[in-house]
């Protein structure tokens, strides 16, 4: 009988990259289902387009770099990027938006920096910013929830809209965005921002049909679904609690301060936590192990920075939602955070004490 002699650590985590990625993708499913329920199955089309593009561009670059293609495709990281981007863009955006965005995410943000594990930025969010900056009109054409749409959505409408820019009956996206009273509707965060700029108070703005008692109609359920997925990830130990808690805590605290100062001009913490992409950002995007901070203390700072930036850009910036910008800016700060939050080496005195 032979004993295998190996050096420490003797206890290994059995979770490989592909298993982790698979779990994160699985955890996205409740959120995706919720989006389909409220906004139609356009998001599924975007998902399919995104995943095909991601695989194709990953294979292309790996071919060019003369690296083995199949093992890299099997780690599902490209698929995860595609999924995260597809759920963040409007479900009725034209097909070339998602194709361009995914190709940009994989080829430029991920592979040109050296592939999985070397990218500076979160690929999905960098691609989202790329799309938002390049094509602001298409990227902000969110349809209102199905129940509020004036034109009854036909079975084939998402297909028509994604591939021809018009619904099957020939309505343009702007017409589809218009409600029964002939008012154009935007996302809840966008509506709130526009209303505040015209001098309305929060409580007046919340009377609009895109809101229900807590926040945006449909959007709060989407956020709750992503929260459930995120909690499952925590339970599975795919992600750690520090980043999500720091993001949500910092966003909640900032919005609480604003809310206490003037509830007419600042939305409630609950509204902020359940609007836009907050939960998606906290559990799925900020926790990306490659572009996030690696030290334990650093993760708290990193998450808190994202929460603060989301609040600042939402309240005082030019864009209605801020997740992508906040995550990218925090990504840039990661080397600095990591440098200043290095843990004390065991046996060494803390810096500055002699």
Partner 1 sequence: MSDYRNIIHQGLWQNNPGLVQLLGLCPLLATSSTMTNALGLGFATMLVLVSTNLVVSLIRSQVPNEIRIPIFVMVIAAVVTAIEQLMQAYTYQLYQSLGIFIPLIVTNCIVIGRAEAFASKNPLLPSIVDGLMMGLGFTLVLFLLGTCRELLGQGTLFDGAEALFGPWATVLRVEVFKTESHFLLAILPPGAFMVLGFLIAAKNAVDARQKSRQVQTAGITRARVTHVASNETSAG
Interface with partner 1 includes 138 (CB under 8 A)?
Answer: yes
User: Which region among 12-20, 133-141, 144-152, 287-295 touches partner 1 (by CB under 8 A)?
Assistant: 133-141
Distance CA 242, CA 69 (A): 34
71 C-beta neighbours (distance < 10 Å), count: 10
Q: Which of 2, 8, 13, 137 binds partner 1 (CB under 8 A)?
A: 137
**Over the range 275-286, which residues count as b (16 or more CB within 10 Å of their CB) and which as e?**
bbbbbbbbbbbb
Q: Minimum distance from CB of 197 to partner 1 (Å)? A: 23
Of the candidate spans 126-134, 235-243, 247-255, 278-286, the one that interacts with partner 1 by CB under 8 A turns out to be: 126-134
Rounded CA separation 176/165 (Å)? 11
User: Can you tell me which of 114, 136, 263, 289 binds partner 1, judged by CB under 8 A?
Assistant: 136
Least Cβ distance, residue 184 to partner 1 (angstroms): 19
Structure tokens at 20: 């982790």
Distance CA 31, CA 13 (A): 28
Of 52, 108, 245, 333, the residue at the interface with partner 1 (CB under 8 A) is 108
Give the HSE-up count for residue 29: Cα atoms under 13 Å, Cβ half-sphere.
7
Beta bridge partners of 172: 166
- The span of 77-85, 129-137, 215-223, 294-302 binding partner 1 (CB under 8 A) equals 129-137
Q: Is 236 helix (H, G, I), strand (E, B) or coil?
A: coil
- Interacting residue with partner 1 among 5, 133, 155, 261 (CB under 8 A): 133
Residue 126: CB partners within 8 Å, gap ≥ 6?
Answer: 104, 105, 109, 324, 328
Q: Which stretch binds partner 1 (CB under 8 A): 8-16, 45-53, 71-79, 136-144?
A: 136-144
How far apart are the C-alpha atoms of 314 and 306, rounded to whole Å? Answer: 12
- Reported as type and span, the H/E element at residue 254 is helix 242-261
**Is residue 134 near partner 1 by the rule CB under 8 A?**
yes
247 forms bridges with which residues in the sheet?
none
Q: By CB under 8 A, tell whether 130 contacts partner 1.
A: yes
Residue 237's Cα: distance from chain center in Å? Answer: 20
Asked if 166 touches partner 1 (CB under 8 A), the answer is no
State the nearest-atom distance from the C-beta of 131 to partner 1, in Å: 9
Taking the least distance from each CB to partner 1, the nearer of 5 and 133 is 133
Stretch in the footprint of partner 1 (CB under 8 A) among 44-52, 59-67, 128-136, 202-210:
128-136
Cβ proximity to partner 1: between 100 and 245 the closer is 100
Residues near partner 1 (CB under 8 A): 108, 130, 133-138
């Amino acid at each position: 009988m032979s004993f295998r002699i190996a050096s420490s650590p003797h206890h290994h985590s059995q979770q490989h990259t592909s298993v982790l990625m698979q779990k994160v993708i699985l955890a996205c499913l409740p959120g995706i289902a919720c989006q389909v329920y409220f906004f139609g199955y356009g998001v599924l089309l975007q998902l399919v387009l995104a995943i095909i593009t991601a695989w194709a561009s990953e294979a292309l670059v790996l071919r060019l770099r003369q690296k083995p293609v199949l093992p890299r495709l099997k780690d599902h990281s490209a698929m995860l990027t595609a999924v995260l981007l597809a759920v963040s863009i409007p479900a009725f955006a034209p097909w070339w938006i998602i194709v361009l965005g995914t190709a940009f995410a994989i080829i430029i943000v991920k592979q040109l920096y050296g592939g999985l594990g070397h990218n500076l930025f979160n690929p999905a969010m960098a691609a989202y910013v790329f799309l938002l900056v390049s094509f602001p009109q298409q990227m902000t054409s969110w349809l209102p929830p199905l129940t509020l749409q004036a034109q009854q959505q036909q079975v084939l409408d998402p297909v028509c809209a994604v591939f021809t820019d018009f619904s099957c009956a020939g309505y343009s996206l702007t017409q589809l965005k218009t409600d029964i009273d002939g008012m154009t509707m935007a996302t809840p965060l966008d509506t709130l921002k526009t209303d505040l700029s015209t001098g309305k108070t929060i409580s007046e703005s919340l009377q609009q049909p895109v809101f229900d008692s807590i926040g945006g109609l449909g959007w709060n359920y989407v956020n709750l679904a992503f929260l459930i997925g995120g909690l499952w990830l925590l339970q599975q130990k795919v992600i750690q609690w520090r980043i999500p808690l720091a993001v949500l805590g910092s966003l909640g605290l900032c919005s609480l301060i604003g809310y206490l100062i003037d509830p007419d001009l600042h939305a409630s913490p609950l509204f902020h936590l359940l609007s836009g992409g907050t939960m998606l950002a906290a559990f799925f995007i900020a926790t990306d192990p490659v572009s996030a901070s690696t030290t334990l203390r650093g993760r708290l700072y990193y998450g808190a920075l994202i929460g603060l930036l989301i609040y600042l850009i939402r309240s005082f910036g030019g864009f209605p939602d801020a997740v992508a910008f906040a995550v990218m800016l925090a990504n840039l700060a990661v080397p600095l955070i990591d440098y200043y939050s290095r843990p004390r080496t065991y046996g060494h005195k803390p810096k500055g004490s002699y």
